[in-house]
Amino acid sequence: MTGGLDFNVIRDNLLYFFIGRYPHGPLGGVGLTFYLAVVSLVLSFIGGLILGLLSISHNRVVKWVSLTFINAVRGMPLLMVIFWMYFLWPGLMGRPMPESQTVILALTFFTSAYMSQIVRAGIEGIPKGQTEAAISTGLAPWQAMFYIVLPQGLRNMIPSFVNQFVSMIKDTSLAFIVGVDELTHIATQVNNRTLVFPTEIFLFIAVVYFILCYAFTELSRWMEKRLAWRKAI
């Protein structure tokens, strides 16, 4: 082929792009990207919530430790966090860890740190009177947080969460640096093997990433509507 694009390379490797060597080997491609993203998403949601709550704790030590962790992680490139996990974690734990778990852990640490500050801002955005009203009826401060402040705050946090998660879906591509068979890694493999179709291959995975991110954005928009309560008129 001279000129023009030849997408046969995509068609011939389609299954490989989507699931890697599965079921004859481990899951790869889009499947693994999706897996990395969903697991990291769930974990960093929980991690962000916990870190966010700790970072506004009245206990100074708890607050200081969590803020130090948050600022340290936020001040590091994600790639560095992945390398840290990849090279240092097995040494610390005394046993090797599968690469995909390394990446999940790194993404979780990194995204939790950012999420925690969204959580903090969301909580601090709820008027103080809400907490006062709740504790005045005898609810303990944690109950006021759990039943009154968080449900209102979380809803306001949804747009920022979505931002964070969309960028996390894209960040899973960095996993290719430690040899995890996710979409980008598969793409470089196919590219190295075929040599002459880089445009087609990277155009294709760009579209796949776009679809994943767009679908997630739409899903969250639907969720936001469902969670809506009647706002002030």
Partner 1 sequence: MIRFEGVHKWFGKLHVLNNVNLQVKQGEVVVVCGPSGSGKSTLIRTINELEPINEGRLIVDGMDLGGRGTDINKLRAEIGFVFQQFNLYPHLSVLKNITLAPIKIRRLDRKEAAQQAMALLERVGLAEKRDAYPSQLSGGQQQRVAIARALAMKPKIMLFDEPTSALDPEMIGEVLAVMKDLAESGMTMMVVTHEMGFAREVSHRIVFIDHGIILEEANPAEFFRNPKHERAQQFLRQVLSPMH
Residues at the site binding partner 1, with contacts judged by CB under 8 A: 127, 129-130, 132-140, 143, 147-148, 151-152, 155, 229-233
Give me the count of residues in the chain.
Answer: 233
SS (H, E, C) the chain: CCCCCCCHHHHHCHHHHHHECCCCCCECHHHHHHHHHHHHHHHHHHHHHHHHHHHCCCCHHHHHHHHHHHHHHHCCCHHHHHHHHHHHHHHHHCCCCCHHHHHHHHHHHHHHHHHHHHHHHHHHCCCHHHHHHHHHCCCCHHHHHHHHHHHHHHHHHHHHHHHHHHHHHHHHHHHHHHCCCEHHHHHHHHHHHHCCCHHHHHHHHHHHHHHHHHHHHHHHHHHHHHHCCCCCC
Q: How far is the CB of 118 from partner 1 (least distance, A)?
A: 19
Q: What's the closest the beta carbon of residue 130 comes to partner 1, in angstroms?
A: 6
* Residue 71 or 136 with smaller CB distance to partner 1: 136
Q: Which is nearer to partner 1, 71 or 143 (CB)?
A: 143
* Closer Cβ to partner 1, 152 or 194, answer by number: 152
Q: Which is nearer to partner 1, 24 or 230 (CB)?
A: 230
**Residue 126 Cβ vs partner 1, minimum distance, rounded to whole Å:** 10
What's the closest the beta carbon of residue 63 comes to partner 1, in angstroms? Answer: 20
Nearer to partner 1, 43 or 135 (CB): 135
Give min distance, CB of 227 to partner 1, in A.
9
